[in-house]
Structure 1
Amino acid sequence: MLDLFAGCGGISLGFRAAGFRIDAAVELDPIAAQTHALNFHGHEAPEVLAQHARGRDITNVEPAEVTADLGLGDPERAFDVLVGGPPCQAYARVGRAKLREVADHPSAYKIDPRGNLYLRYLHYIRVTKPLAILIENVPDVLNYGGHNVMGEIAEVLEKDLGYRARYSLINSAFHGVPQMRDRVYLLAVHEEVDQEIKFPRATHHMILPSGYGGTRSVALRLVDMFEGGAFEEADHGTPDLPGPVTAAEAIGDLSPITLHLEGKAKKAAQRFDVPVAYPKRQGTLPTYAKLMRTWTGFEAPTDGPRDHVIRFLPRDTEIFRAMPNGAEYPAAHATAVRLYEERIRDLEQRGKARLTESEKTTIFRAMVPPYPIGSFPNRWWKLRSDFPVRTLMAHIGKDTYSHIHFDSMQARVISVREAARLQSFPDGFTFCGTMNPAYRQIGNAVPPLMAKRLAETIRDSLLRACNRTAMVRVPVAAE
């Protein structure tokens, strides 16, 4: 497998769990590239590991350069599967004509760099000729500047590059991830494989909150589901399936964090150099938590995770404590104002005199978040212990307010390890860098459990083709 726009390796981890070998990755962010290399090639010789850990810019590196650097030989024979999630910026100014041009002319992407990342992805497909393809992106890719990007990609794959392609809008909560994360996935197999494309059936069932329905309907506005197009409706299961994995099942077994309540927390950059032991527990672990500790090849460290660290936010501790579970920023702001008013009354009662307006303003600024209520209604959110969490985004590397821990006694945002758990990264998966880059890597990733479900469908299609036609590629190393 070759992973493009690989990030820290969410897709790679899912494919590895499904039995694939991760031979190469292309990732621009040097810290994410180091994370990917450490987790998937950390057992290799230092000079080989160093090659894998290099940040590579897909806009100026050719497939042949990647395979040459890693000793993988001819790029057309190096990979069976190509995966990735190219960003769709500027795509609306490119459109299907440019995609078709790339399919016919391998250097067309050099003529017009707008939307270059999708064009580069197609270029890699054209050169490497994989048997199967996975493309992942946000729901907006279905309605981006008047374009259904995935629909047009599917059209080019089928009409110009010899693939059968299907795409679907899938929420990861239906596949055992404790997170309501809508993403579009395109699966394609080469016509030589001669297999129908199947998306995984749901393993869990829930009714998504109303807001998700509105977002999905906007995204699907340009999708033609009724005339034999490439779109396939995702399976949402039936009520007899297990309910979704909850936040409590996902992170409730990790050690409480209270140093910030004891005045012992530091504002310095949080590094991952101190293990945090798992607490002693009565009874059995939730199934999900057990999986996170025992994932094959990424088993939990015996002394506990080293990235169970949080952001230092002293102004907001009491707000976090007093907010109701499931509350958003307007409730957080109202809670902060109430706490401020209580503080003013307490100070004036104890001081037997009214505070000046200047003194009140200073206290207000120290206690109440400054963001406009109408502009950031979803910026803060306190988790519900009995429900999956909302989508983890890359910007959790900046503030983490979108995921406040459900335990009011801890009064804090989620830790790096908790974010990883909610994204379905096992406890033995190591993130390079400090706290902020780790949060960003997690938020950018595809949930490994979701990737595993998709990888299993690709694996089964390829195995069926192998069994039918004995179409087996000899590994490059053996050649």
Structure 2
Amino acid sequence: MAKRKYTFIDLFAGCGGLSEGFLKTRRFSALAHVEWEKPMIDTLRNRLVTAWHETVASAKKKAILFDIQRTDELINGNWSEDSIEKYGKDNDETVIKRGLKGVIGRKHVDLIIGGPPCQAYSIHGRATDKDSMNNDYRNYLFESFCKVVDAFRPNIFVFENVGGLLSAKPGGIPVRDRIFNAFTQIGYQIRTPEEMPRALYDAADFNVPQHRPRVIILGIRKDSDLELNDLYTSIENERSANIKLTVKDAIGHLPALYPLEQPIKVGRIIHSHQYNPAPSITQHEARNHGPRERAIFKEWVDGEMNHISHKDMIKYYYEKTGHKTLYQKYKSLEWDKPSHTVVAHLSKDGYMFIHPDSKQARSITIREAACLMTFPLDFQFLGSTPYNYKMIGNAVPVNFASAIAKGIYKTLDKR
């Protein structure tokens, strides 16, 4: 007898890393995904059609382009004129008139999953912001998440975020206290603020070739027969023992992209980015690095300069560019280790993600970044190159999402 599928809503869905991981297990069915940036929602809709057998119309209805801060309209529909002007043409009429409730209808929602934007909680973000992110609206996006949970009353919710959440104090109040109080008040049990550090996991322990510490806050409805610790234990049992995937495991099989002395022509297309193309792999093209950058990349990798002191890194940057900085500007991947955390800053430049082969003298490609996040090779990212890097850096690694999903469905199956 076929096992039942559990249903979910994905909030702050981005390009769909968390959804992809849950769907990949074949034990979950997506009812809706909510995201407010168009390149991300276009990418997610395309994936639902090409990989998960949704029709174009169904994908547009399920994957909603909307600002979750307009929470009442998102849940109930009856959009304001302003919302219709901003988002109307990109959404199904059902969403506009009846909101998430119209999309879901009478179906029961088993889970709500999502990861609000992490920049406000990021330790680096707070260090570089003059107000330490205290006045950033993203500190409070969990309130919208909480409202959606309250509206649909799922058995479980999954709230993913950066480790910096554990120390963030917007308005002088620890955000983990705010989160605990908000969900407790609507009838959900979550770990106490003191227990939350135990929910900090590294994606590298879950078949992801990347060190990526993340807090996973699980909540269960107080009137359910679930045990919170059972859920966490079941997820922890999905760890990949002592084996960690490496950069070589993730991208070592991809075609090399070497610098060219002169641009080349393939058919009618002139490749002016000064690296050989790899037509067999989509979205695997090198950025257009100039001679100075290529020389720095080669020197950095060959000199194993990841291991010099921070002071020497700052000095090196000044000697090469004439510019001063307080922060490390270059870092290379290493073949035999997991990558450091893939970040959205890749949309600006790739200097902190230099390819480990010095002969290639470049930063990583969109496809390589996606492989480090365990997106399948056939996953296509739509929009501009900067947006592609941004959506990948902001995503949840697919294999990590799958491990969370497996832990949850095993617990639910036992019940």
Please tell me the TM-score bracket, short chain as reference: 0.7 to 0.9
C-alpha spacing 1:147/1:183, structure 2 compared with 1 (3 Å): farther
Equivalent pairs counted in the alignment come to 344
Match of 1:318 in 2: 295
Following superposition, the deviation at residue 194 of structure 1 comes to: 1.4
The 5 A counterparts of 1:210-249 are 241-249=241-249
Q: Does 1:385 align with 2:409?
A: no
1:410 aligns with 2:354: no
Please say if 1:189 is aligned against 2:220: yes
| Aligned mates of 1:73, 1:334 — CA distance in 2 | 56
TM-score, length-scaled by structure 2: 0.75
Indicate the residue corresponding to 1:11 in structure 2: 18
Structure 1 residue runs without a partner (length 5+): 92-112, 206-240, 278-304, 338-367, 466-479
Whether the aligned pair in 1 keeps the contact of 2:257 and 2:278 (CA below 8 Å) is: no
Q: Percent identity?
A: 31
- Paired position in structure 2 for 1:156: 182
2:75 to 44, 47, 63: 63
Deviation digits for residues 438-468 of structure 1 (CA, Å, limit 9, x no counterpart): 1100000011111111112221222233xxx
Does the residue aligned with 1:72 lie in a helix, a strand or coil? Answer: helix
CA contact (8 A) 2:238 2:406 kept: no
CA distance in 1, matches of 2:49, 2:9: 13
Give the CA deviation at 1:192: 3.7
Q: Displacement of 1:54 after TM fit?
A: 4.8
Distance 1:326 1:441, change over 3 A: farther
CA distance in 2, matches of 1:410, 1:85: 35
1:247-269 deviation line (CA, Å, top 9, x unaligned): 1111000000125455445359x
Amino acid at match of 1:184: V
Change (3 A) 1:381 1:62: same
CA–CA separation in structure 2 for the residues paired with 1:24 and 1:447 = 20
Once the two structures are superposed, residues 74-96 of structure 1 have per-residue CA deviations (whole angstroms, 9 ceiling, x without a partner) of 47x442110111236779xxxxx
The two structures have a TM-score, normalised by structure 1, of 0.65
CA-based RMSD: 2.9
CA deviation after TM superposition for structure 1 residue 179, in Å: 0.7
For 1:130 and 1:459, the matched residues in 2 are separated by: 14
Alignment of 1:54-453 (within 5 A): 54-60=64-70, 61-65=73-77, 66=95, 68=98, 72-74=103-105, 77-87=107-117, 115-145=139-169, 146-157=172-183, 159-166=184-191, 167=196, 168-197=199-228, 198-199=231-232, 200-201=235-236, 241-260=241-260, 262-264=262-264, 265-266=271-272, 276-277=279-280, 305-314=281-290, 315-323=292-300, 324-325=303-304, 327=306, 330-331=312-313, 334=316, 337=319, 368-372=320-324, 374-377=325-328, 379-453=329-403
Asked whether the equivalents of residues 396 and 443 of structure 1 are also in contact (C-alpha less than 8 Å), the reply is yes
1: CA distance between counterparts of 2:332 and 2:104? 51
| Contact kept? 1:86, 1:136, Cα under 8 Å | yes
Contact 1:203/1:242, CA 8 A, preserved across alignment = no
Structure 2 CA distance for aligned equivalents of residues 13 and 179 of structure 1? 18
1-structure distance, mates of 2:119, 2:365:
30
Which of the two has higher C-alpha Rg?
Answer: 1
Q: Secondary structure at the match of 1:177?
A: coil
| One-letter amino acid matched to 1:81 | L
Task: Say if 1:171 and 1:35 are closer, same or farther in 2 by CA, change over 3 A.
Answer: same
Q: Is the 8 A contact 2:344 2:393 kept in 1?
A: yes
What stretches of structure 2 of length at least 5 have no aligned partner?
1-7, 78-94, 122-136, 265-270
Q: Match for 2:399: what amino acid?
A: L
Higher strand share: 2
For 1:6, give the aligned amino acid: A
Paired letter, 1:387: K
2:314·2:327 contact (CA, 8 Å) conserved in 1? Answer: no
Tell whether the 8 Å contact from 2:287 to 2:365 is kept in structure 1 after alignment. yes
User: Aligned partners of 1:418, 1:130: CA distance in 2, in Å?
Assistant: 36
Shift of 1:202: 6.3
Separation in 2, partners of 1:333, 1:421? 33
Q: Which amino acid aligns with 2:12?
A: F
Pair 1:46 & 2:64 matched: no
Q: Report the Cα distance in structure 2 between the residues aligned to 1:386 and 1:89, rounded to whole angstroms.
A: 29
- SS of the aligned residue for 2:28 comes to coil
Residues in 1 aligned to 2:314 and 2:181: alpha-carbon distance in whole angstroms: 47
Superposed CA deviations along residues 217-275 of structure 1, whole A, max 9, x for unmatched, are: xxxxxxxxxxxxxxxxxxxxxxxx4332111111000000125455445359x9xxx86
Deviation at 1:72, TM superposition (A): 3.1
TM-superposed CA distance for 1:73, in Å, is 4.1
- State the match for 2:90 in structure 1: none
